[in-house]
Structure formats: C-alpha cells, structure tokens
C-alpha cells in the first residue's frame, strides 16, 4: 500500500493535468456533438424527404462505425488537404461519433410529446409559439436530459480511446501509461488513473439516475 501512496504523491501533478485534459476532451467533443446533433435531428424531422434521407444515412453511418476508424480517417486521412492536429482530429472524431446518438435522442424527444396535446393546446387558443414554449419544449427537455447524460458517460469512457490511439493526447489514460513506465509500477499508476475515471463516470451515473427520477413524466 505504501508504494501506491508514493506513486500518488510523486505524480499527483501529472494525474491532475491528465484528469483536466480528459474533462476538456469530453467538454469540447460534447459541444461539437450537440451542435452537429441538433442540425442532424432537424434534418431527420424536416418535411423534405431528401433531407430526412441525408439525416438517416448520417446517423446510421456514424453510429455503426468504430470510433477508432473515425479517428484514423480524420488524423491520417487528409495529410495533403488539411493537416489537422491531434486535438482537432480527436475531438472531431468523438464529437461526430456522439452526434449521431444525440440526433436520435433529440428527435425522439420531439416525438415524445403526443400530437393530441399539441392539438389540444392549439384548440384552447394558445398560439403556435405558446404551444411550443409551454407544452412541447418543457416535456421534450425532460425526456431528453437523462439520455443525454448517458451519452456523456459514454463519452467519458470513449475519450480514453483518443489518448490511447496514435493521437497521443496526454489524457488520464496516457498519464497512467507514462507513469507506469516511469515508476515500473503498473498496478499503482493504473489504480490512480482508474480512480480518476471512476470519479467522473460514477458521479455522472448518480446525477443521471437522480435526474431520471426527478424528471420522469407520469402518464
């Protein structure tokens, strides 16, 4: 146990910076995923058939191919056209990968509000804008938050792939590997890195569970 503690004390700054980098990767990718996901969700519910089709193909492609393949495509694929750095390639890959799931979540959130409710509020004399504001969006929001939280948990875990692949971003996992090589103590350094990941994912799980209960719509 003493060795574990020693590794922690000596390499705390590295672990801390790895922890922040993992958080930053997740945050940046989430922004990309939300932006693109919203656009694709709009495509999926658009009245034009062609747009719907584009949305469907996008979603099915990005969510069914491995994240590692996406990373390779962005990082190695365009050396002559635009040479993008590991951060851009990594967050773009993780962001676009997750955007497909986000698009589906948002789309199902819109459809979660029954058409009957919209008809009812319109016939009660609400304007279209009021209907959206007071009836549709509050309910969509409540149905969408728990699955979005789930996707963030998945992103935290997937972000480790960025650090492990050829991108060599010094995130929590990479820090664990470097420390393992420096101290020749794989168990201790991976233990502390694992603790970092567990802090993130377990906290997020608790928040999602809590929100799921609080936001549940009783029908």
Chain residues that interact with other proteins, rule: CB under 8 A:
60-61, 63-70, 72-73, 76-78, 80-81, 98, 101, 104-105, 107-108, 111-112, 147, 149-151, 153-154, 156-161, 164-165, 173, 176-177, 180, 186-187, 190, 193-194, 197-198, 201-202, 204-205, 208-209
At closest approach, how far in Å is the CB of 176 from other proteins? Answer: 8
The span from the CA of 210 to the CA of 144, in Å, is 14
Give the largest CA-CA distance in the chain: 72
Give least dist CB 191 to other proteins, A: 9
Report the nearest approach of other proteins to the CB of residue 6 (Å): 18
Smallest gap, in angstroms, from Cβ of residue 186 to other proteins? 5
**DSSP track, 85-105:** -HHHHHHHHHHHHHHHHHHHH
Q: Dihedral through CA 158, CA 163, CA 165, CA 166, nearest 10?
A: 150
**Where in the chain does DSSP place strands (E)?**
none
Nearer residue to other proteins within complex by CB, 135 or 174: 174
**H or E element: which one contains 9?**
helix 2-45
Other CB atoms closer than 10 Å to residue 123's CB: what's the count? 8
Q: Which is nearer to other proteins, 124 or 202 (CB)?
A: 202
Distance CA 109, CA 20 (A): 32
Shortest CB 143 distance to other proteins, Å: 9
Compare residues 93 and 135 and give the one whose CB is closer to other proteins: 93
Looking at beta carbons only, is 94 or 135 nearer to other proteins? 94
77: which residues sit within 8 A by CB, 6+ positions away? none
**Rg, C-alpha atoms of the chain:** 21
Rounded Cα distance between 143 and 209, Å, is 13
Nearer to other proteins, 122 or 211 (CB): 211
Q: Nearest approach, Cβ of 129 to other proteins (angstroms)?
A: 26
Please say which residue, 17 or 201, places its beta carbon nearer to other proteins.
201
């Amino acid at each position: 146990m003493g060795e574990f503690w020693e590794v922690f004390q000596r390499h705390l700054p590295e672990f801390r910076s790895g922890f922040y980098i993992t958080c930053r990767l997740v945050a940046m990718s989430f922004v990309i995923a939300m932006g693109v996901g919203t656009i694709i969700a709009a495509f999926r519910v658009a009245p034009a058939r062609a747009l719907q089709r584009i949305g469907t193909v996008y979603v099915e492609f990005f969510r069914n191919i491995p994240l590692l393949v996406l990373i390779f495509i962005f990082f190695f694929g365009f050396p002559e056209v635009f040479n993008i750095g590991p951060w851009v390639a990594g967050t773009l890959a993780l962001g676009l990968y997750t955007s497909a799931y986000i698009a589906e979540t948002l789309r199902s959130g819109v459809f979660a509000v029954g058409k009957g409710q919209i008809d009812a509020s319109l016939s009660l004399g609400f304007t279209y804008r009021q209907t959206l504001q007071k009836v549709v969006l509050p309910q969509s929001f409540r149905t969408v938050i728990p699955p979005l939280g789930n996707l963030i948990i998945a992103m935290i875990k997937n972000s480790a792939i960025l650090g492990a692949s050829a991108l060599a971003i010094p995130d929590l996992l990479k820090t664990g590997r470097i420390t393992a090589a420096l101290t020749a103590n794989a168990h201790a350094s991976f233990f502390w890195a694992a603790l970092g990941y567990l802090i993130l994912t377990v906290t997020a799980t608790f928040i999602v569970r809590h929100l799921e209960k609080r936001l549940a719509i009783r029908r």
